[in-house]
Amino acid sequence: MDTDGTVKNFAMNDKCAAGTGRFFEAMARSFELSLSEFSKLSLTAKNVIPITAQCTVFAESEVITLVGEGKATDEIAAGIEMAVAKRCFVMAKKAGATDSITLTGGCAKNDGLKEAIEHVLKLKVVNLKTDPQLMGALGAAEYARQKGLAKK
């Protein structure tokens, strides 16, 4: 972002659902937790159990297997958060992130993901003052406002 808050560069995962809110909903369901509970689960992990599957369906199957084997749920959750953070690494570098990033959407409320991103990317995740789930709607409203002003 520019010093006046203008977005200078933007990157978004457009290849699959892995790393999106839907992905985290599926992972929370695997643990029989709410999304809010899941977002904090990895924060207590002493170790990380890597999740190798990139696809939501395969990752969910992998998680269910690990839970069935009796692996520590916080360590599995840490592996999930870390896998998503690693996918964010490439996007952040492409966008030119150097010292901090901001997350928008529901994933911005995932404390475990924010911690994993800070660890993997070595960048500070800056929280928004406005609800991050409103950013898309606010951007659309601002775009419409500017288009309306341009017609006058």
Domain of 36: which CATH number? 3.30.420.40
Residue 143 lies in a domain: yes
What is the per-residue pLDDT across 15-43, written as a single tens digit (0 to 9) for each? 555 557 788 888 898 889 999 999 999 99
- The pLDDT of residue 80 is 93
Quick check: is 11 in a domain? no
Lowest mean pLDDT segment, chosen from 40-54, 86-100, 130-144: 86-100
Number of domains in the chain: 1
pLDDT in tens, 108-124: 999 999 999 999 999 99
pTM of this prediction?
Answer: 0.80
2 found inside a domain: no
Classify residue 93: in a domain, yes or no: yes
**108 domain-assigned:** yes
Higher pLDDT, 4 or 59: 59
Residue 7 belongs to some domain of the structure: no
Placement of tokens 């992998």 in the chain: 62
Query: Does some domain include residue 14?
Result: no
Q: Is residue 29 included in any domain, yes or no?
A: yes
Does the pLDDT of residue 72 top 70, yes or no? yes
Domain assignment of residue 145, given as a range: 21-151
Query: Nearest 5 degrees, angle CA 131-CA 89-CA 80?
Result: 75
String of DSSP letters for the chain: --TTS---------S-STTSHHHHHHHHHHTT--HHHHHHHGGG-SS-------SHHHHHHHHHHHHHTT--HHHHHHHHHHHHHHHHHHHHHHHT--SEE---SGGGG-HHHHHHHHHHH--EEPPPSS-GGGHHHHHHHHHHHHHHHHH-
Per residue in 41-52, is it b (16+ CB within 10 Å) or e — as a string? bbeebeebbebe
- Residue 5: pLDDT over 70: no
Given a contact cutoff of 8 angstroms between Cβ atoms, the answer to whether 132 and 103 are in contact is: yes
